Amino acid sequence: MSTRIAFKANICAKADNLPGKTTAWMRFTQTYPVSKIQFGQHVGIITHVIIFKLPIRYNRAVEEPPIMLNMSPSLLISRIITLIIALTVHEFAHAFVAYRFGDTTARDAGRLTLNPLKHLDVVGSLMLLVAGFGWAKPVPINPYALRRRADSAVMWVSLAGPASNLLLAIISGLLLRLRVFPWVTSTGVLPSPAEFLFTFMSINLVLMLFNLIPLAPLDGEKVLSNLLPAKWSSGLASIQRYGPILLLVLLFVLPMVGIDIISWIMTPALTQLQKFILGVS
């Protein structure tokens, strides 16, 4: 099954800062066969993503290049590079923290590496080239080996992925904030450095926020499980088994009647994070 989320975020720059207005549209998914999700064991850290158009509009009019796969070549290139880096680092972070806690499962599976070929799914990679979206393979972990080292180990392994995306977003955002590259738009096939960095920052921020939703099979579910009192664990487990169904309801059913809870939560968070990192009020 798969779940998706779409939302919009606007940032209005000051006249003496970034010279433009940006509008971001993103769509994400967490995809995993329900029959393979073992909520009691958490055999894999699950992180898959689908990302659609992220148009950037500027005050200064520029000639738009030909559209391919519903996006300009420069945006498509930015999207592909961003997804490869973001997904690879995300999955590596899960594997690295698991290894530091004594679980060699990911290392033995060849996932303790920054080589994208070890993390990217074949079908997901082909879809990324053809349709502009893709996904990576989940990192396998052994929760029993992790808990021998620390009861909270699974939580830290789960947090590692979103934390890595936040770090990537901060680095790219600071490069924009410090004006390392001029804020200009692309007039050709390749994106300008500033365009790429903004796309890179935005996608990584949404990856972080979406993965922190406290519903299975997202990373946030394991974080919440560890933070809640032990007496609530059985009640939480009974709810989390319906996590994928709840996500479907939140993402598809409720928005059909005008109740888009996830967008209400994530859009302000994304906007404020972008403004904070970029220094825009």
Please pick, among 64, 91, 195, 221, the residue that the annotation labels catalytic: 91
3-state SS string for 182-224: CCCCCCCCCCCHHHHHHHHHHHHHHHHHHHCCCCCCCHHHHHH
- Which residues have C-beta within 8 Å of that of residue 197, sequence separation ≥ 6? 172, 173, 175, 176, 181
Which residue bears the tokens 């993965």?
Answer: 211
Tokens of 8: 């919009």
Closest CA to 45 of 170, 248, 242, 223: 223
**Cβ pair 280, 274 in contact under 8 A:** yes
- Is 195 annotated in the active site? no
Q: Which positions are annotated as active-site residues?
A: 91
